[in-house]
Amino acid sequence: MATEIILPKLGETMEEGVIVEWLKKEGDPVQRGEVLFTIESDKATLEVESPAKGYLRKILVPAGQAVPVLTVVGLITRTADEPLEEPQEQPQVAVAPPVSDVVSPPPSRIFASPRARRLAREQGVDLAALTGTGPDSRIVERDVRAYLEKQPKATPVARRLAEQAGLDLRAIPGSGPGGRITREDVEQAIAPAAPPPPPAPPPPPAVTEEVAVTSVPLGGVRAVIARNMHASHQTTAPVTLTTEADATALVSLRERLKTSLAETLGFNIGYNDLLILIAARALREYPYINARLERDANGTEVISYVQDIHIGLAVDTERGLMVAVVRHADRKGLVEIARELRELVGRVRQGKALPDELTGSTFTITNLGPQEIDAFTPIINLPEVAILGVGRIRPRPAVVDGQLCVRQTVWLSLTFDHRLVDGAPAARFLQRIKQLIEEPYLLLA
């Protein structure tokens, strides 16, 4: 019997993936654990290994195609000439529903084979819309496939969104490969129609030189970033507080740590390591910043105060902006944070970080100091309450004890959601960040 190659679910948030490249051809011998193909999710590019030893007999999903997780994408047989036979469908086993406090009429039972149910679940097909051709009108896999052949090509996520919105997929143009309807296509169809444009201005004077324009589709990670940033701008009430901190003591501490720990760590302690340690301490003392706006089971908006402190660090990569997450940062020392952050940022920039390593942060730091930016207005990383922007540390003239001198200073910018936190409490949190930067020995208290 052939061994199925499954597109794995590499994280809680992963719903589908795109096969970037098959590294083996049909008929090639494969070893268990050998890399068969690479996949791309909305967060990273990862390698998938062979589940068995044998021969890659059939590629069911070609490169470039997006499919839901847990989809069978290929088949492996033990020998090169073993017949490819699909396993027999197993009989349906009825399971008694759990007892509920609320008595409701039992739903009409839909008889379907396990393979039909799995395919319907993967492709977002409602079994109630199908007519079974199996024994006793049971729905079998060929019924689901026949239904899909009559429907427009669409991703499972797009099908579910369209069903929830009551939209007919046949009326939605697809922008994906081969005219496939994507989630963005359905979201665009759901969005209210834009108001008519104003009258066109008179045409500009003719120019003799043509302007060369190169267009690229807004897709992949860039589309995810655009969608998240737009959602943050539209749904939050952002306010940004800025303050200048004297970082002279922090710079001195880092220099001493570089000298003391370089041989042990194999690299130099960085400012981001110290900033994560400082932010974790401040969040533990001001838990109202370590929160998020959510909806409870009744759909009511509630403020959820998160007990765990997971700090995200914005990382610039070739594929776009990513947020690497250091989990339980308040429980870790500086050396542990530094080691974990180096490994994590390395995987993020190589595109090998798992989706769960790029999600779940409760507070984010974005540091544009290396790009020589002094101050800026960061955008909140939903569903968090606030984000800390850090500018470059550099010597500036300052007055200390009535005397003009040169000090190392840094601008801090805290953007927070005013729906959940007021200005004064947010300012107190930023003050604490400033104090720990100016007096880092307080981290030992």
Q: Which residues contact 194 (CB under 8 A, 6 or more apart)?
A: none
Q: The tokens 């594929």 sit on which residue?
A: 319
In the 8-state DSSP scheme, what is residue 290?
A: S
For strand 54-59 and strand 403-417, is the pairing parallel, antiparallel, or unpaired? unpaired
The whole-angstrom separation of Cα 137 and Cα 60 is 28
Would you tell me how many other CB atoms lie within 10 Å of the CB of residue 285? Answer: 13
5 in Cβ contact with 72 (< 8 Å) = yes
Give the per-residue SS3 of 205-267.
CCCCCCCCCCCCCCCHHHHHHHHHHHHHHHHCCEEEEEEEEECHHHHHHHHHHHHHHHHHHCC
The whole-angstrom separation of Cα 107 and Cα 136 is 19
Enzyme catalytic residues: 418
Cβ-count burial of 16 within 10 angstroms (0-12 exposed, 13-18 middle, 19+ buried)?
A: buried
**Greatest Cα pair distance in the chain:** 93
31 in Cβ contact with 50 (< 8 Å) = yes
| φ, ψ for residue 372, nearest 5 deg | 65, 35
